[in-house]
Amino acid sequence: MDQIAVTGGTPLRGEIPIAGAKNACLALMPATLLTDEPLTLMNAPRLSDIRTMTTLLQSLGAEVTALQGGKVLAMSSHDLTSLRADYDIVRKMRASILVLGPMLARHGRAVVSLPGGCAIGARPVDLHLMALEAMGATLDLREGYVHAKAPNGLKGARIAFPTVSVGATENALMAATLARGTTVLANAAREPEIVDLARCLRAMGARIAGEGTGTIEVEGVAALCGATHAVVIDRIELGTYMLAPAITGGEVECLGGRRDLVGAFADKLEEAGIAVEETPRGLKVSRRNGRVAAVDVVTEPFPGFPTDLQAQMMALLCTADGVSRLEERIFENRFMHAPELGRMGARISVQGGTATVTGVERLRGAPVMATDLRASVSLILAALAAEGETVVSRVYHLDRGYERVEEKLSACGARIERIAA
């Protein structure tokens, strides 16, 4: 297994291009299952999660061709050979459940393994299933698989989600495009990835209104057509790289960055004393004067502070002047990075869903272990600021969500290298 070695202490300066959003792309790819015409995605990120979704779609008989080194994904589902998503692939990635709604909507049946994914809490799929049942599907859970049927097609329904779920909103949204009649998704997720999916589906002929608000209305159509769609930029990658100069004291322009995608996060950075400036090419972030100030953070669904930036923000606050509190409200058990940061000299105590971080002057390099995707990059950020060398192991977590991380950071002066196993 590869490791990443970082020697900290260099302020980062330069520019970092931000890739297309992993989470948007993982929802857009299954949309190919809704039509027999080609769907092409531009600006796709080159990540192992995208390759996993490619393998899953190919196992169903879809054609997925990566062009331009993987930046363009040309897909077609005109000839599906299977409607069964196997455990062996699905267990690698939770987003695999997103093939369920589209297959069921277009073919009237689907068998999908219950997913695995990051080890950050229970993460059930009950809301996905509830939404599809409301649209008339019959579901049977047997031997770890969901057996779903809707022989006469899905029908429009009013679905009120008891909690906001990005994935369940996406699954229901895709299924509703081909359902008979009107579907209303109430308490829907408002994440930019949902907006991006709705835009792509609309380009495919779907009739959707209200994406980006808590109520999405979908009028079903008989069939969808092909389209070409550019994936929105990755707001989590953006936020992660915005933290790089914040933590090392430097200045980095994140190319393609948009403040509307990271509003609550950018506000927190400013509260901590980091400058965030909109430029014609993106967002420029800098830290000029001394230590950052301690701030309190509560994770919430969009437009609140994203749970996917909590670990990285914690890395920053480890060296803040004062005591910060981070409250995790989306996932239980999402503080596995805290003891690893502790190995680098951070002072963090976790009680239930709240971590209290007492800032220290300096972190020190240490051997640490990545436990999940965002935790792994928080350790890299901490290492960039730490004195001496840090070796992060289990970086396959990192490769799920960050493309060319060593290249992007070393282009700004970071001393970082991959040690191939």
Q: Quote the least distance from Cβ 271 to ligand UD1, whole Å.
A: 22
Q: Quote the least distance from Cβ 225 to ligand UD1, whole Å.
A: 25
Q: Quote the least distance from Cβ 372 to ligand UD1, whole Å.
A: 10
User: Do β-strands 109-113 and 84-85 pair in parallel, antiparallel, or remain unpaired?
Assistant: parallel
Q: Quote the least distance from Cβ 6 to ligand UD1, whole Å.
A: 24
Q: Which residues have C-beta within 8 Å of that of residue 158, sequence separation ≥ 6?
A: 134, 183, 184, 186
- 24 versus 320: smaller Cβ distance to ligand UD1: 24
Please, what sign has the CA dihedral across residues 135, 136, 137, 141?
positive
- 196 versus 253: smaller Cβ distance to ligand UD1: 196
- In DSSP terms, 387 is beta-bridged to 364
Residue found by looking up tokens 């971080």 in the block = 357
Q: Quote the least distance from Cβ 26 to ligand UD1, whole Å.
A: 5
Report the alpha-carbon distance of residue 372 to residue 392 in Å, rounded. Answer: 12
- 183 versus 307: smaller Cβ distance to ligand UD1: 307
Q: Quote the least distance from Cβ 188 to ligand UD1, whole Å.
A: 11
Report the alpha-carbon distance of residue 348 to residue 361 in Å, rounded. Answer: 14
Report the alpha-carbon distance of residue 29 to residue 196 in Å, rounded. Answer: 12
Q: Is 118 part of the annotated catalytic residue set?
A: yes
Binding stretches for ligand UD1 (CB under 6 A) = 23, 26, 94-95, 121-128, 163, 165-168, 193, 307-308, 330-331
Give one word for 121, left, alpha or beta, with left for phi > 0 and alpha for psi -120 to 50: left
Nearest residue to ligand UD1 by CB is 167
Structure tokens at 266: 């950018």
Nearest to 244 by CA among 200, 274, 199: 274
| CA dist list (Å): 50 to 132, 254, 279, 366, 401 | 25, 23, 30, 31, 9
- 233 versus 320: smaller Cβ distance to ligand UD1: 233
| CA dist list (Å): 255 to 41, 165, 240 | 20, 29, 13
Q: Quote the least distance from Cβ 236 to ligand UD1, whole Å.
A: 7
- 60 versus 120: smaller Cβ distance to ligand UD1: 120
Asked whether the beta carbons of 203 and 227 are under 8 A apart, the reply is: yes
Q: Quote the least distance from Cβ 118 to ligand UD1, whole Å.
A: 8
- 31 versus 414: smaller Cβ distance to ligand UD1: 31
Q: 25, 118, 318, 412: which is the annotated catalytic residue?
A: 118
- 75 versus 95: smaller Cβ distance to ligand UD1: 95
Asked whether the beta carbons of 112 and 100 are under 8 A apart, the reply is: yes
Q: Which residues have C-beta within 8 Å of that of residue 371, sequence separation ≥ 6?
A: 119, 336, 337, 340, 394, 397
- 130 versus 411: smaller Cβ distance to ligand UD1: 130
Report the alpha-carbon distance of residue 298 to residue 132 in Å, rounded. Answer: 31
| CA dist list (Å): 167 to 131, 132, 245 | 11, 13, 32
Residues labelled as active-site residues: 118
